[in-house]
């Protein structure tokens, strides 16, 4: 397990380390050990192509880059003395700012897209909740109507049962005043009332006959009397 060159503590998965590209020493990736700011550390994490040098290597190596232009064979007196070197300073803050800007811009675009998607989904969810509330209201109304119809049905069933009982009573009363006489032969131009009067005299019946009619010609040639 590697140890930090600054604090001599282990470098673990939770306490990351950074390696110097020159001396290959490792230190913890924090401000105390590496001397990097938060933005610089984020830039290193986001870009694998960036290299880091420890403070010792930075102090040893030159911070300037020289470009040497060799003299021509014949010289160039028109431009004075030949240029031997040119120094180009390295602006670390500007470089880190550019790197940070390049890293932050895609992140900000992604965050903007994520925010738009979240807002869209939120609106859709609100619409779905409104539809669910409408369904709940409709279901409540249907249940209420169903209860009303059920009560009406029970009331109609009760009334129908009462009417059937009254009809049965009425039919029983009608049958109690009706006499059926069977097997009376049918003759042409018969007067069935006279036939019944003869039967009444023969049987000695004194009831007042209100109505006489023949029924069941094809079955039993019956005569029905209502007294």
Length of the chain: 227
Mean pLDDT for 179-192 is: 74
Instruction: Inform me whether the pLDDT recorded for 70 exceeds 70.
Output: no
Q: Which of 108-122, 151-165, 205-219 has the highest mean pLDDT?
A: 151-165
Residue 216: per-residue pLDDT: 58
pTM above 0.75, yes or no: no
Report, in angstroms and rounded to the nearest whole number, the Rg of the chain calculated over CA atoms. 58
Give the CATH number of domain 1-62.
3.30.40.10
Whether the CB-CB separation of 164 and 171 falls below 8 Å is answered with no
**Longest CA pairwise span in the chain (Å):** 174
Q: What is the mean pLDDT of the chain?
A: 76
Residue 90: per-residue pLDDT: 52
Instruction: Inform me whether the pLDDT recorded for 138 exceeds 80.
Output: yes
Mean pLDDT for 198-213 is: 76
User: And the tokens for 156?
Assistant: 């109609």
Residue 144: per-residue pLDDT: 93
> pLDDT tens-digit profile of 13-57?
888 888 888 888 889 988 888 888 888 888 888 877 778 888 888
Q: Is the CA virtual torsion 32, 38, 39, 42 positive or negative?
A: positive
Whether the CB-CB separation of 44 and 34 falls below 8 Å is answered with no
Spell out the domain ranges in the chain: 1-62, 109-175, 177-226
Q: Is 122 helix (H, G, I), strand (E, B) or coil?
A: helix
Mean pLDDT for 59-73 is: 48
Beta bridge partners of 214: 223
Instruction: Inform me whether the pLDDT recorded for 109 exceeds 60.
Output: yes
């Amino acid at each position: 397990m590697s140890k930090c060159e600054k604090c001599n503590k282990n470098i673990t998965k939770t306490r990351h380390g950074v390696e110097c590209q020159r001396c290959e020493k490792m230190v913890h990736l924090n401000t105390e050990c590496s001397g990097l700011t938060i933005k610089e550390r984020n830039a290193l994490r986001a870009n694998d192509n960036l290299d880091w040098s420890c403070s010792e290597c930075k102090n040893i190596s030159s911070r300037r880059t020289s470009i040497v232009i060799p003299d021509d064979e014949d010289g160039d007196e028109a431009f004075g003395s030949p240029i031997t070197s040119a120094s180009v300073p390295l602006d670390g803050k500007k470089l880190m700012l550019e790197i940070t800007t390049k890293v932050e811009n895609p992140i900000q675009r992604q965050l903007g897209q994520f925010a738009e998607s979240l807002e869209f989904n939120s609106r859709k969810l609100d619409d779905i909740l409104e539809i669910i509330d409408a369904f709940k209201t409709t279901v409540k109304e249907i249940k209420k109507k169903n209860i009303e119809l059920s009560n009406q049905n029970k009331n109609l069933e009760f009334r129908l049962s009462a009417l059937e009982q009254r009809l049965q009573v009425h039919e029983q009363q009608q049958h109690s005043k009706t006499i059926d006489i069977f097997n009376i032969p049918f003759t042409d131009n018969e007067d069935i009332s006279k036939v019944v009067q003869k039967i009444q005299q023969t049987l000695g019946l004194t009831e007042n006959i209100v109505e006489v009619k023949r029924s069941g010609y094809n079955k039993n040639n019956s005569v029905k009397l209502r007294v």
